[in-house]
């Protein structure tokens, strides 16, 4: 058991601690391969426009740096920020990349100067090239049609939508799952939580906050993990700063082995059961949208294993990441169920790229989970809804204007046909949603 724990401790240390949290004023536009950052500065009394503009550019570059530092260098789950902290001589490479950002758009709204900076993502002079330089590896080949430079076509695609109209990634806070099962030989709570974070880490639809960031959000809302876990399904729980919150409790993690028959005709029947109480909060509505008990069972019968010791090795309850062991397979099945529950709670969002007659082109593809035959609802994002009492922004008006059906899924976009129109013409930049 000591050896197993040592192995598990090493495994836990290698697991990713968190997903990078995208700031709303900086993001990576997957469709165009462009890194985008916004910045602003208020014109001080007597200050020139150019001075304020420089401060706005500095603000945008700082936002872009924050975004880049939270991206992952590789599958070892080390962020760019962590990497340059350990390798300070590489910081100049990151700073040089940020310094090449170009001002794509600038406006003056009242006494505020606003700018938008762009950087390429692909190619030797893009984000991937920067990562290759600091790690000493060759940059991967850019997808067809996407090189190091931001082309006019890519600029047109970017201009077709407003950053405020795009369905941004859902920011999800997640508490470490509790281990209330009878199996205490492993830190099931920490390992399962980390595996779940890994599952969502590179999914552009979600941004899972790290454990530390989650705790900071709770503190800002004057909440404790105990208070969140004690909240009932009908309770209204207000958590500002995120779109959702996930908590869970592992209540069962156990094998059952039964021997049938005797001698050469005998066989072992093995079962492994895992159960989790999963709670998912839609923080925008302060409402629990998932409050379920999820169950995963794996069953095997074998004539080749004759003893309980052999069965224990086959089940491999202490190897939660095993692809062969019965326990590992049950864990993967449970991860899939949790994944489906979270996705069901937060609809997939994208946007319209182009409209030609009754054909609608959207930015969602198979990697987002889109399939031919899916029906999406189209929304027009309107004015802000402001609470007249508190003065706080509640949300944006979203007018349902149409439904479309996916007919062809391409590598970088999907083609749909308009089904039902509700008075307004579909336009590039409109939000599409799959519930």
Structural domain boundaries of the chain? 23-162, 170-345, 348-434
Per cent of the chain over pLDDT 90 is 29
Averaged pLDDT for residues 52-64: 90
CATH architecture of 348-434: Beta Barrel (2.40)
3-state secondary structure of 31: coil
- The CATH class that applies to domain 170-345 reads alpha beta
- Model pLDDT, residue 7: 30
Q: Is the pLDDT of residue 105 over 80?
A: no
Burial class (CB in 10 A: 0-12, 13-18, 19+), 186: buried
Q: Which of 58-72, 170-184, 306-320, 365-379 has the lowest mean pLDDT?
A: 306-320
- Which tens digit of pLDDT belongs to each residue from 257-277? 777 666 556 666 778 889 999
pLDDT, residue 165, reads 38
What is the rounded average pLDDT of the residues 73-98?
A: 85
pLDDT of residue 281: 95
Tallying the residues shown for the chain, one arrives at: 435
* Tens of pLDDT, residues 238-264: 999 899 999 999 999 988 777 766 655
Task: Spell out where 137-243 has E strands.
Answer: 170-174, 178-179, 206-208
* Residues above pLDDT 70, as percent of the chain: 76
pLDDT value for 114? 85
**pLDDT at site 280:** 96
More confident residue, 24 or 219: 219
Residue 382 — φ and ψ, nearest 5°? -115, -145
120 pLDDT band, cuts 50/70/90, is: confident
What's the mean per-residue pLDDT of the chain?
Answer: 78
Instruction: Assess whether pLDDT exceeds 90 at residue 305.
Output: no
Residues 375 and 29: their CA atoms lie apart, in Å, by: 24
Q: To 5 degrees, how large is the angle CA 133–CA 27–CA 82?
A: 45
Which range of 54-58, 141-145, 224-228, 301-305 scores highest in mean pLDDT? It is 224-228
Residue 163 pLDDT: 40
* Distance from C-alpha of 69 to C-alpha of 79, rounded to nearest angstrom: 6
Q: What is the pLDDT of residue 118?
A: 84
pLDDT band for position 346 (cuts 50, 70, 90): confident
The whole-model pTM stands at: 0.52
CATH fold match for the domains 170-345 and 348-434: no
Report CA 277 to chain centroid distance, whole Å: 22
pLDDT of residue 6: 34
pLDDT at 410: 86
Pairing assessment for the beta strands 348-356 and 244-260 based on DSSP bridges: unpaired
**What is the band of 27 on the pLDDT scale with cuts at 50, 70, 90?**
confident
Separation of alpha carbons 119 and 136, rounded Å:
21
| Residue-wise pLDDT tens digits, 381-410 | 655 555 667 666 555 556 788 899 999 998
Q: Which residue pairs from 183-190 have beta carbons closer than 8 angstroms and sit at least 24 positions apart in sequence?
A: 183/253, 183/254, 183/317, 185/1, 185/4, 185/5, 185/317, 185/318, 186/8, 186/318, 186/320, 187/8, 187/12, 188/250, 188/253, 188/320, 189/250, 190/12
Q: What is the dihedral of CA 8, 12, 15, 17, to 10 degrees?
A: 160
More confident of the two residues 290 and 325: 290
pLDDT above 90 for 164: no
Q: Which tokens go with 412? A: 């970088």
């Amino acid at each position: 058991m000591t050896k197993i724990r040592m192995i598990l401790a090493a495994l836990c240390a290698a697991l990713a601690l968190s997903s990078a949290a995208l700031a709303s004023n900086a993001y990576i536009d997957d469709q165009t391969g462009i890194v985008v950052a916004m910045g602003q500065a208020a014109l001080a009394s007597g200050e020139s426009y150019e001075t304020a503009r420089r401060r706005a550019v500095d603000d945008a570059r700082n936002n872009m740096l924050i975004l880049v530092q939270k991206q992952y260098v590789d599958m070892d789950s080390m962020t760019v920020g962590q990497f340059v902290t350990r390798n300070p001589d590489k910081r100049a490479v990151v700073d040089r990349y940020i310094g090449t950002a170009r001002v794509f758009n600038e406006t003056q709204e009242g006494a505020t100067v606003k700018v938008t900076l762009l950087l390429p993502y692909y190619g030797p002079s893009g984000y991937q090239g920067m990562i290759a330089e600091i790690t000493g590896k060759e940059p991967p080949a850019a997808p067809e049609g996407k090189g190091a430079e931001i082309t006019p076509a890519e600029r047109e695609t970017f201009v077709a939508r407003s950053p405020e109209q795009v369905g941004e990634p859902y920011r999800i806070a997640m508490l470490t799952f509790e281990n209330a099962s009878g199996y205490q030989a492993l830190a099931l709570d920490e390992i399962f939580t980390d595996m779940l974070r890994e599952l969502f880490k590179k999914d552009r639809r979600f941004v899972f906050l790290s454990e530390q960031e989650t705790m900071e959000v709770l503190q800002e809302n004057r909440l404790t993990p105990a208070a969140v876990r004690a909240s009932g399904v009908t309770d209204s729980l207000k958590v500002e700063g995120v779109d959702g919150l996930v908590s869970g409790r592992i209540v069962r993690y156990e094998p059952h082995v039964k021997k049938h028959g005797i001698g050469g005709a005998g066989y072992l029947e093995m079962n492994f059961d895992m159960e989790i109480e999963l709670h998912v909060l839609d923080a925008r509505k302060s409402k629990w949208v998932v409050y379920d008990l999820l169950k995963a069972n794996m069953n095997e019968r074998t004539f080749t294993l004759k003893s309980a010791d052999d069965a224990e090795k086959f089940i491999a309850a202490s190897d939660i990441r095993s692809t062969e062991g019965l326990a590992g397979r049950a864990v993967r099945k449970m991860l899939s169920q949790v994944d489906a529950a979270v996705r069901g709670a937060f609809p997939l969002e994208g946007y319209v790229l182009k409209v030609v007659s009754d054909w609608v082109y959207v930015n969602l593809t198979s990697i987002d989970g889109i399939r031919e035959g899916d029906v999406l609802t189209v929304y027009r994002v309107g004015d802000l809804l402001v609470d007249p009492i508190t003065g706080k922004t509640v949300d944006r008006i979203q007018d349902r204007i149409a439904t479309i059906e996916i007919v062809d899924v391409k590598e970088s976009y999907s083609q749909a046909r308009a089904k039902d129109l509700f008075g307004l013409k579909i336009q590039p930049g409109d939000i599409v949603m799959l519930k």
